[in-house]
Structure 1
Amino acid sequence: KSHIYHWNVVGPLFKSLHELTEEHYGALFAATDIVAERIRALGHLAPSPMGNAADFAPAAKDVDNTSAVDMVNDLIAHHEASVRTMREAAEKAGDAGDVVTEDMLTARLTFHEKAIWMLRAIVAS
């Protein structure tokens, strides 16, 4: 979503949101490789990178009618969902003694929590 919103944001928030989403999608793309390599190191096949992307990406017709503020709120909701999932996974990794996965998830949590903070600051009133 960050990449699609990056291309399609308009209005007074354009510059700040365009730059922030570029930073975010770059970090997310890099994280995809790190996570996939960790999955392989654990002896599993990495999922298809684009396998479920359509489930998360907004349709073009929806983006056309989405305000910058709505885009930000949508991104916040998705980052918050990611944080919840990663916290659960990190706890399970810790319980299993998998400190490498736990550490990787901690780094990802740091990114997502910072993203939430920055996005909330954009739409704060």
Structure 2
Amino acid sequence: MRKLNIGLSPEQREGVIGLLNADLADTYLLIIKTKKHHWDVVGPQFRSLHELWEEQYQAMSESSDKIAERVRALGGYPVGTAKGFLEYATLEEHPGDIPTAYGMVARLLDDHEQVIRNLRGHVDRCSEEFGDEGTADFLTGIMEAHEDMAWMLRSFIEGVSIEPDGDKPGSELKLPVEMK
């Protein structure tokens, strides 16, 4: 086997691979949770949530494949078993518990926000601790996708009506001084 020579030491690559495997595990667990809610949701918002979650788990599935391929590009092997995912994941399961549609959205939002916090830390560690700017950039893109998904979920549960001009009720429109 030819030695990998990409400007990172084996120790640097091993550190990054560990972070990526943790991100892969969280992504996979979040896919499972999103798919489960996709199957179980009921109520007046069924169709919109069912379709939103399908879009999200498909996007995360593509993302998980890219994370696994990044692990391989760095000379490692991605975690790929249910046991491995549970060992690496920071997200919690809720077996046997089927919340309301609102509760499902809130749980998935909490999970996306946890993933975002983890990714933010991993971006910093890839760059500062392991000197791998390529993976830091790669994880930034993954983080941005989770931020978009979290925004969609957050928008659903905020439940604040919006006035026709786009302002929240009761808030004053603050114009820059030059516009007054």
Output the TM-score relative to the length of structure 2. 0.63
Q: CA deviation at 1:124?
A: 1.4
Q: In structure 1, what is the equivalent of residue 127 of structure 2?
A: 94
Runs of 4+ residues deviating >2 angstroms: 49-53, 55-59
Please report how far the alpha carbon of residue 48 of structure 1 lies from its aligned counterpart in structure 2 after TM superposition: 1.2
Counterparts of 2:154 and 2:78, CA distance in 1: 32
Q: Aligned-pair distance for 1:49?
A: 4.7
For 1:73 and 1:8, the matched residues in 2 are separated by: 15
Larger proportion of helix: 1
What SS class does the counterpart of residue 97 from structure 2 fall into?
helix
The AA in structure 2 aligned to 1:90 is V
Letter in 2 for 1:101: T
Structure 1 residues 3 and 57: alpha-carbon distance in aligned structure 2, compared to 1, 3 A threshold: farther
The percentage of aligned residue pairs carrying the same residue is 38
Which of these two proteins has the greater Rg computed from alpha carbons?
A: 2
**Further displaced range: 82-91 or 100-109:** 100-109
What is the root-mean-square deviation of aligned Cα atoms in Å? Answer: 1.8
Which one-letter code corresponds to 1:62 in the other structure?
Answer: D
Q: Cα distance, 1:50 vs. partner?
A: 3.2
TM-score (norm 1): 0.89
Post-superposition CA distance 1:30-80 (Å, at most 9, x none): 111110111111122110153336x75543x312xx100000000010001
Equivalent residue runs for 1:5-44 within 5 Å: 5-44=37-76
For 1:19 and 1:34, locate their aligned partners in 2 and report how far apart those are by CA, in whole Å.
Answer: 23
State whether structure 2 residue 118 is matched by structure 1 residue 85.
Answer: yes
Q: Which runs of 5+ in 2 are unaligned?
A: 1-32, 160-180
The separation in 2 between residues aligned to 1:7 and 1:109, in whole angstroms, is 26
1:68: which partner in 2?
A: 101
Tell me, yes or no, if the aligned pair for 1:4 and 1:57 is still in contact at 8 Å: no
2:80 is paired with a residue whose SS is coil
Distance 1:85 1:18 in 2: 27
Residue 18 of structure 1 aligns to which amino acid in structure 2? H
Say which of 149, 157, 160 aligns to 1:123: 157
Counterpart amino acid of 2:143?
Answer: L
* Structure 1 residues not aligned, in runs of 5+: none
